[in-house]
Amino acid sequence: MMAANTSDRLKLPDLHIVTKLSVFIALTASVFFITDLLPLFLFLALTLIGFYVYKIKLGRLKWLVMISLTTLPTTMGIFILSHGVHAGFTPETIELGVHESALFIMRIFPMVLFNILFVKTTELREVHFLLKALRLPTEISLLLTTVFRFFPIMLQEGQIEYWAKIGQLVEENPDLPLPLIQDILVGKE
């Protein structure tokens, strides 16, 4: 999913970069103004449904999502401890810690998904032209461009690792055709 290869980009309706950025910022900001768990859960569910409807695959970025999910118990523990230390460990403070951690998680997870969506549907040159048009200082433009490039670089590193595994399997099994080796690797994932 490199920015230079437009054929790998998602085939979403062509939206102007300003529209995409505005929607991204609006979605991200709205998540932080919601204070009830049910609307946050619905917001997350709609985001996941959007990923399914538009056939957005996380590909090699799924490990980032998996890491986020594995931190959930730790996050809950930190919130419970922070409330318990100040007011004592009562059922009310534990419930408050669980509630606050759930709010935090339900706010962060959609942000990660929005970021993935924005990166997978926007080319780096579009971001560059937007930042230039906004007349942001060079330092800020470079920072934002670097942040924007983070996910595709991770993806590229994953692709290098993938092709290295294929090369090793081809050397070890010269009689097997390449498509079969690729299918075996996909099956292992």
State mean pLDDT over 108-135: 79
Q: pLDDT > 90: what percent of the chain? A: 2
State mean pLDDT over 138-149: 78
pLDDT per residue as tens digits for the range 40-58? 888 888 878 877 777 777 7
CA 37 to mean position of chain CA atoms: 21
**pLDDT of 92 above 50:** yes
User: How far is the CA of 84 from the CAs of 81, 100, 104, 132, in angstroms?
Assistant: 5, 13, 17, 48
Q: Tell me, what's the pLDDT at 16? A: 78
State mean pLDDT over 173-188: 72
23 is written with which tokens?
Answer: 């929607």
- Which pTM was predicted? 0.58
91 is written with which tokens?
Answer: 């059922």
Residue 173 has φ and ψ, to the nearest 5°, of: -130, 70
Residue, of 128 and 160, whose pLDDT is higher: 128
Q: Tell me, what's the pLDDT at 147? A: 73
Q: Tell me, what's the pLDDT at 13? A: 53
Q: What is the mean pLDDT of the chain?
A: 76
